[in-house]
Amino acid sequence: MKKNTLLLLLLLPSVLLAQIIPVTDDMEDYEVGQPIFENWWTTWSGTEADAILCSDFSDFGDKSAFVDGNGTINSVLNLGSIPFPDNIYWPGFYSQIRMYIPSGKEAYFNLQQEVPIVEDKSIFGDIYFNKDNLNPGVGYIEDTALGMVEFSFPHDEWFNIFIDINQVDPFGPWTWIFHADNQTVFSQIPFTNSNGELPAFLGGINFASKSAYTEFYIDYIHFDAIVLGVDEHENKHFTMAPNPTSSQLLLPSTNAAIETVRLFSGVGTLIFEEVGNISLLDLSGLASGLYFVEISSDRGREVHKVVKE
């Protein structure tokens, strides 16, 4: 079901919002070559011995987080063990991960129910990219409501993973959306495993070195509450690039003409409106954070999430 209204965060009880730890990390605050074991970063063991490392290879800025093939890195982005209530309505939360995987290498992460991790309670099992270097450009999510789901991704270039976890309808079931490299892998499927089991919590994202083939980089990661309900179009006619952006945002399309563009803050405040077939927005004067770009064109209406650095 497509949402045609902008739902403000006032629908979200403050006690639940307080349990969400907003995360925005561009890795610039860490020392190259050293483990990242501070702020929201922890590990499976609870010690820095298996922490993710800081690298000087990057897309934005000068640094990124790095997982190599030593087989020991088992790092966790602690999200605070967020519950999934079934007796109230709230829009949910989302995450963006910007990744780079060299040719001949694999990457891996999973979603854990609880942090600190006492035992493996992954929500969907493994999320692999080119496991054991057997399927370059192919990844899979092991145990979704649809079973195992494959997706494609590029090697040797930076790309985004977007995960949206939400309730489409008030008091309705929890669903999720998974995007890889700006392609929708699936949209609004139940947020359960293949047995229909809803997790009790979302605890954290576990990045691990699984074999000698493992090598990947994370330049930017963002996690926060969804504070605005938006249309989710499976076939969008516009892309936002670059995203994240520090200044200009391009709105390329080959088959649609823009009529109106409106920019909203993360809590639904209209910031500005532009009329006409424009192709670029200047966000340089805005504060860092999440924004929503609503485009009305001759092909309909669509809304995009944009991160301003």
pLDDT tens-digit readout, 2-31: 333 333 333 444 445 555 667 889 999 999
**Residue 268 pLDDT exceeds 80:** no
Q: Which alpha helices (DSSP H) does the chain contain, by range?
A: 14-17
**Residue 47 pLDDT exceeds 50:** yes
Q: Name the pTM for this structure.
A: 0.71
**Residue 117 pLDDT exceeds 70:** yes
Q: Which CATH architecture has domain 9-225?
A: Sandwich (2.60)
Sign of the CA dihedral 154, 94, 124, 232?
Answer: negative
Cis peptide before 22 (omega within 30 of 0): no
What per-residue confidence (pLDDT) applies to 5?
A: 34
Q: Residue ranges of the domains in the chain?
A: 9-225, 248-308
- Reply yes or no on domain 248-308 having CATH 1.10.150: no
**Residue 50 pLDDT exceeds 60:** yes
| CA distance readout (Å), 210 to 47, 126, 299 | 18, 11, 45
Reported as a single tens digit per residue, the pLDDT across 123-174 is 988 999 999 999 999 999 999 999 999 999 999 999 999 898 877 665 678 8
For residue 112, give the nearest of 122, 102, 125 by alpha carbon: 122
Q: Which residue type occupies 6?
A: L
Question: What number of other Cβ atoms are within 10 A of residue 241's Cβ?
Answer: 12
